């Protein structure tokens, strides 16, 4: 007689896929025990055959099902076993990564860019190596101007196509002409970043420093537009309502030129009393000089515009209370880490 229970017990005790294979050969494969039992049926009467045939086929179904379930379990077990072998112990102490933060100038520059973007200015970096034409003449600074002398400008050994020595741009205004020619007018662009001068280093001067140029050229751009844009720009940048005042200033590439002071509302955290901050000089700016437009091929009768120059060091110093601009670039990690 077929002892299904015993066979199933045997199946339950199998621990690996190899054992299961043997089990299959023994009971369910070609030479399976059930076959023998089926053979025995030839000696039985028709009634007995019917009865025993059913017992055998039921047994076959039960055993096959049990076998398949067992096979699934063992396969999962073997996969898990492999995974356990391959496991990487991440609990081991690794190399500690220093917590970093952005340079303060970078943070201010990004805020300036963000504020300018909200007013649809595009951000362009431009080249740091400039021709003398770009750096001076294109922005209405004649080559006889003292700033072109060696003591101010850093010259390179390489020459441009006209045989003049190339320079490291001394101001971002050097890109005005290039941007007008590249994008033509109307134009709304900001050009942030590095400039170089042959300067004695002190708390306010460094050979490499940061500038940020803005320029807007279109038909009918007036001083009133300019004041409005500047007020909005500074308000977005400083995240509070800013009021500005304009004083005359001289820069060769603007006419009229302005020095712009800003002040904003202060709220006493204890009494909630409101007061106004001091006037702080924050921007240099002006209406783009007709010569600058002409040199770039733009008709000053048709187009006008303004250029502005937020004082990035002043803004950073104001926000973070820094007295010496050399801190921004001297790579002292203690300084960098103190502003998270
Ligand atoms: N380029 C000037 C400098 O480096 C700064 C400046 C002043 C830029 C007035 C401007 C401006 O666009 O309108 O000293």
212 pocket-lining for ligand 1 (C-beta < 6 Å): no
226-242 tens-digit pLDDT:
999 999 998 888 888 88
Percent pLDDT > 70 in the chain is: 97
Helix (H) / strand (E) containing 82: helix 46-86
Residue 157 has pLDDT above 80, yes or no: yes
As a whole number, mean pLDDT of residues 100-114 equals 87
Minimum-distance ligand 1 atom for the alpha carbon of 214: 12
Residue 204 has pLDDT above 80, yes or no: no
Determine which residue's CA is closest to atom 8 belonging to ligand 1: 309
Residue 12 has pLDDT above 90, yes or no: no
The residue whose CB lies within 8 Å of the most ligand 1 atoms, and thus the one to mutate among 204, 309, 313, 314, is: 309
Tokens linked to 224? 């009133």
- In which residue are the tokens 């240099």 written? 284
Work out the pLDDT band at 37, boundaries 50, 70, 90. confident
For residue 41, the model assigns a pLDDT of 78
122-134 tens-digit pLDDT:
999 889 999 999 9
Q: Which of 24-33, 109-118, 257-266 is least confident?
A: 24-33
Give the integer Cα–Cα distance in Å for 140 and 300: 14
308 pocket-lining for ligand 1 (C-beta < 6 Å): yes
What Rg, from alpha-carbon coordinates, does the chain have? Answer: 41
Contact between 167 and 135 (Cβ < 8 Å): yes
Cα(113) to centroid(ligand 1), Å? 17
Cα(230) to centroid(ligand 1), Å? 15
Q: Across 34-118, where does the E strand assignment appear?
A: none
Nearest to 237 by CA among 283, 205, 284: 283
Minimum-distance ligand 1 atom for the alpha carbon of 172: 1
Determine which residue's CA is closest to atom 14 belonging to ligand 1: 171
Question: Helices 104-118 and 312-320, interaxial angle, to 10°?
Answer: 110
Cα(36) to centroid(ligand 1), Å? 103
Minimum-distance ligand 1 atom for the alpha carbon of 176: 12
Work out the pLDDT band at 202, boundaries 50, 70, 90. confident
Minimum-distance ligand 1 atom for the alpha carbon of 215: 12
Largest Cα–Cα distance of the chain, in whole Å? 127
- The per-residue pLDDT of the chain, averaged, comes to 88
251 pocket-lining for ligand 1 (C-beta < 6 Å): yes
For residue 244, the model assigns a pLDDT of 93
Cα(308) to centroid(ligand 1), Å? 7
For residue 266, the model assigns a pLDDT of 81
For residue 31, the model assigns a pLDDT of 67
Cα(331) to centroid(ligand 1), Å? 27
Minimum-distance ligand 1 atom for the alpha carbon of 306: 13
DSSP one-letter string for 232-246 = HHHHHHHTS-EEEEE
Determine which residue's CA is closest to atom 4 belonging to ligand 1: 171
Tokens linked to 147? 């700033």
- 104-337 is classed CATH 3.30.930.10: yes
226 pocket-lining for ligand 1 (C-beta < 6 Å): no
Cα(251) to centroid(ligand 1), Å? 7
For residue 99, the model assigns a pLDDT of 72
Residue 326 has pLDDT above 70, yes or no: yes
For residue 1, the model assigns a pLDDT of 63
Contact between 67 and 28 (Cβ < 8 Å): yes
């Amino acid at each position: 007689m077929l002892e299904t229970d015993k066979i199933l017990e045997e199946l339950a005790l199998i621990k690996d896929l190899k054992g299961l294979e043997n089990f299959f050969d023994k009971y369910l494969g070609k030479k399976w025990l059930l076959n023998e039992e089926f053979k025995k049926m030839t000696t039985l009467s028709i009634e007995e055959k019917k009865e025993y045939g059913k017992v055998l086929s039921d047994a076959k179904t039960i055993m096959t099902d049990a076998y398949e379930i067992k096979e699934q379990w063992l396969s999962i077990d073997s996969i898990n076993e492999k995974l356990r072998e391959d496991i990487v112990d991440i609990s081991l102490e690794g190399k500690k990564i220093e917590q970093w933060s952005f340079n303060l100038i970078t943070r201010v520059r990004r805020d300036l860019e963000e504020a300018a973007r909200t007013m649809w200015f595009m951000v362009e970096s431009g080249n740091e190596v400039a021709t003398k034409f770009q750096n001076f003449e294109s922005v209405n600074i004649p080559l006889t101007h003292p700033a072109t002398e060696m003591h101010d400008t850093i010259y390179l050994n390489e020459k441009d196509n006209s045989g003049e020595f190339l320079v490291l741009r001394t101001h971002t205004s050097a890109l005005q002409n290039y941007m007008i020619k590249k994008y033509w007018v109307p134009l709304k662009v900001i050009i942030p970043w590095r400039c170089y001068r042959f300067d004695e280093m002190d708390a306010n001067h460094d050979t490499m420093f940061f500038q940020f140029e803005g320029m807007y050229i279109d038909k009918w751009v007036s001083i009133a537009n300019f004041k409005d844009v500047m007020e909005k720009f500074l308000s977005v940048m400083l995240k509070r309502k800013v009021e500005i005042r304009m004083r005359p200033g001289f820069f060769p590439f603007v006419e009229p030129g302005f020095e712009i002071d800003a002040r904003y509302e202060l709220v006493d955290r204890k009494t909630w009393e409101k007061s106004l901050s001091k006037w702080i000089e924050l921007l240099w700016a002006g209406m783009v000089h007709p010569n600058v437009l002409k040199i770039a091929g733009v008709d000053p009768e048709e187009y006008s515009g303004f250029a502005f120059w937020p004082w990035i060091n002043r803004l950073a110093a104001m926000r973070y209370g820094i007295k010496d601009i050399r801190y921004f670039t001297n790579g002292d990690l203690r300084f960098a880490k103190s502003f998270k």
